[in-house]
C-alpha cells in the first residue's frame, strides 16, 4: 500500500469517526464569509508534482499545493482531485491532507484534512480545526461550510479527541466600552 493511499484511508477513517460522533458532539453554528461562493468558477491548482490517474479519473498533487477558485484559496501538502471526463475534465471533489488552510477575504480555517465537494457545494474540515474571522476564533474537531447558504457548523467531536473533552471552544471580540 502506498503512503499516499494509506493517508487517504486515514483521512476517510477520521471523517467517519468524527461523523459518527456527531450525536454526542457539542455544536456551534455561525455564518461563513464564503456564503454565495462561485463554485462554477475555474479551479487553478499549482504543486511541486502531479500524477494523473486517467483510468480512475483522478489526479494527485503533492508538495506546496495551492488551489484558487474565485475568492477562495486552499493550501495543503497533498491534494487528490476526483473528476469526470465526459466532456473534458470536470472537477467533482477535492480531498486535501497534510495541514490544510482555506482562506477567503474575511476568514481563515485550518485543519488536518479537508474535503471540498463541488457537487454539493460543501467544504468539510476535520482534525484540530480552527476558524478565525478577525480576532474571533472557534476551535473544534469538524467544520462544515455550506457555500450556498454560508451556514457553518463546528462540531466538538468525541471526548478525548480535543483538549476540552470534545467541546467546541471559542473566543470572540467585544466592542470596547467606557
DSSP of 3-44 = HHHHHHHHHHHHHHHHHHGGGGS-EEEEE-TTTT--TTS--E
Residue 35 or 57, more confident: 57
Q: What is the pTM of this model?
A: 0.74
Residue 178: inside a domain, yes or no?
no
Whether 34 shows a pLDDT value over 90: the answer reads no
The cell 488536518 sits on which residue?
Answer: 112
Domain annotation covers residue 33: yes
Condensed to tens digits (0 to 9), the pLDDT of residues 63-104 reads: 999 999 998 999 999 999 999 887 778 899 999 999 999 998
Distance from C-alpha of 106 to C-alpha of 90, rounded to nearest angstrom = 28
Q: Is residue 120 part of a domain?
A: yes
- Which among 19, 21, 30 has a CA at the least distance from the CA of 154? 30
Position 143 in a domain: yes
Residue 176 in domain: no
Question: 62 lies in a domain?
Answer: yes
Whether 139 is covered by a domain: the verdict is yes
Q: Share the mean pLDDT of the chain.
A: 79
Residue 104 lies in a domain: yes
pLDDT at 162 over 80: no
Name the percent of the chain lying above pLDDT 90.
48
pLDDT exceeding 70 applies to what percent of the chain?
75
Range of the domain at 54: 3-19+26-171
Question: Is pLDDT of 143 > 90?
Answer: yes
Output the pLDDT for position 54: 83
Higher-confidence residue: 120 or 25? 120
pLDDT band, residue 10 (cuts 50/70/90): very low
φ/ψ of 41, rounded to 5, equals -70, 155
Number of domains in the chain: 1
Pick left, alpha or beta for residue 165 (phi over 0 → left; psi -120 to 50 → alpha; otherwise beta): left
Exposure string (b/e) for 140-151, b if CB count within 10 Å is 16 or more? bbbbbbbbeeee
Predicted local distance difference test score (pLDDT) of residue 108: 94
Enter the C-alpha cell of residue 27: 455544536
Angstrom CA distances, 130 to 28, 34, 63, 107, stand at 12, 16, 22, 10
CATH number for the domain harbouring residue 59: 2.60.450.10
Amino acid at each position: 500500500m502506498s503512503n499516499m493511499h494509506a493517508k487517504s484511508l486515514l483521512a476517510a477513517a477520521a471523517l467517519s469517526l468524527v461523523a459518527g460522533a456527531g450525536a454526542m458532539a457539542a455544536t456551534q453554528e455561525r455564518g461563513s464569509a464564503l456564503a454565495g461562493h462561485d463554485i462554477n468558477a475555474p479551479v487553478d491548482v499549482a504543486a511541486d508534482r502531479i500524477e494523473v490517474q486517467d483510468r480512475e479519473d483522478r489526479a494527485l498533487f503533492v508538495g506546496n499545493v495551492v488551489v484558487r477558485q474565485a475568492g477562495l484559496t486552499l493550501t495543503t501538502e497533498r491534494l487528490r482531485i476526483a473528476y469526470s471526463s465526459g466532456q473534458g475534465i470536470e472537477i467533482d471533489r477535492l480531498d486535501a491532507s497534510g495541514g490544510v488552510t482555506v482562506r477567503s477575504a474575511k476568514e481563515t480555517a485550518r485543519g488536518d484534512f479537508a474535503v471540498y465537494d463541488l457537487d454539493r457545494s460543501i467544504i468539510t474540515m476535520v482534525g484540530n480545526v480552527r476558524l478565525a474571522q478577525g480576532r474571533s476564533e472557534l476551535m473544534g474537531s469538524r467544520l462544515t461550510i455550506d457555500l450556498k447558504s454560508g451556514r457553518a457548523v463546528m462540531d466538538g467531536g468525541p471526548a478525548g479527541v480535543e483538549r476540552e473533552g470534545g467541546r467546541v471552544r471559542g473566543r470572540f471580540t467585544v466592542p470596547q466600552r467606557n
